[in-house]
Amino acid sequence: MVTGRKMEWAAKANHLGGLPRKTVITAVGAFAKAVAVLLNSTSVHNADTLLNLVRSRPSGVPLITVSNHMSTVDDPVMWGFKGFPTCNADLQRWVLAAEDICFKNTVLSYFFRLGV
């Protein structure tokens, strides 16, 4: 069981005018783009379907995607695929995270609560 402060305020979209969340989303998106384009050769099957679902779903409607998890960065790196809205904080998605890894110190807790 993890104890201590929870920092719920960091997860709010209006926290510090939304700048920290947009900064983190942009940084992760840039990292994903570099990994997907520069460090790997990727192919996406049915990319048009995925992009259409991400861009056109109504606000508040969830979208569930499943990665085959060849590594723990599969889902975030998916942001870097061609045509994916890499730096749009409104279209980025939450993923499951291991509490004992992602929230083990204040810096990581703040980072992951911003929406990554």
Domains of the chain by residue range: 18-113
CA distance 112 to 57: 24
What is the mean pLDDT of the segment spanning 59-68?
Answer: 74
Q: For residue 116, what pLDDT is reported?
A: 53
- Identify the band that residue 95 occupies on the pLDDT scale cut at 50, 70 and 90: low
CA distance 57 to 9: 26
Q: What DSSP assignment string belongs to 38-55?
A: IS-----TTHHHHHHHHH
> Is 0.95 surpassed by the pTM of this model?
no
CA distance 73 to 40: 13
pLDDT digits (tens, 9 = 90+) for 46-60: 888 888 887 888 877
Give the chain's radius of gyration (CA, Å): 15
Number of neighbouring beta carbons within 10 Å of residue 20: 16
- Which range, of 37-41, 77-81, 85-89, averages the lowest pLDDT? 85-89
What is the mean pLDDT of the segment spanning 99-112?
Answer: 81
CA distance 5 to 109: 10
In 3-state terms the chain splits into helix, strand, coil percentages (rounded to 5) of 50, 0, 50
**How does the average pLDDT of the chain come out, rounded?**
75
Q: For residue 72, what pLDDT is reported?
A: 66
Residue 4 pLDDT > 60: no
Q: For residue 5, what pLDDT is reported?
A: 59
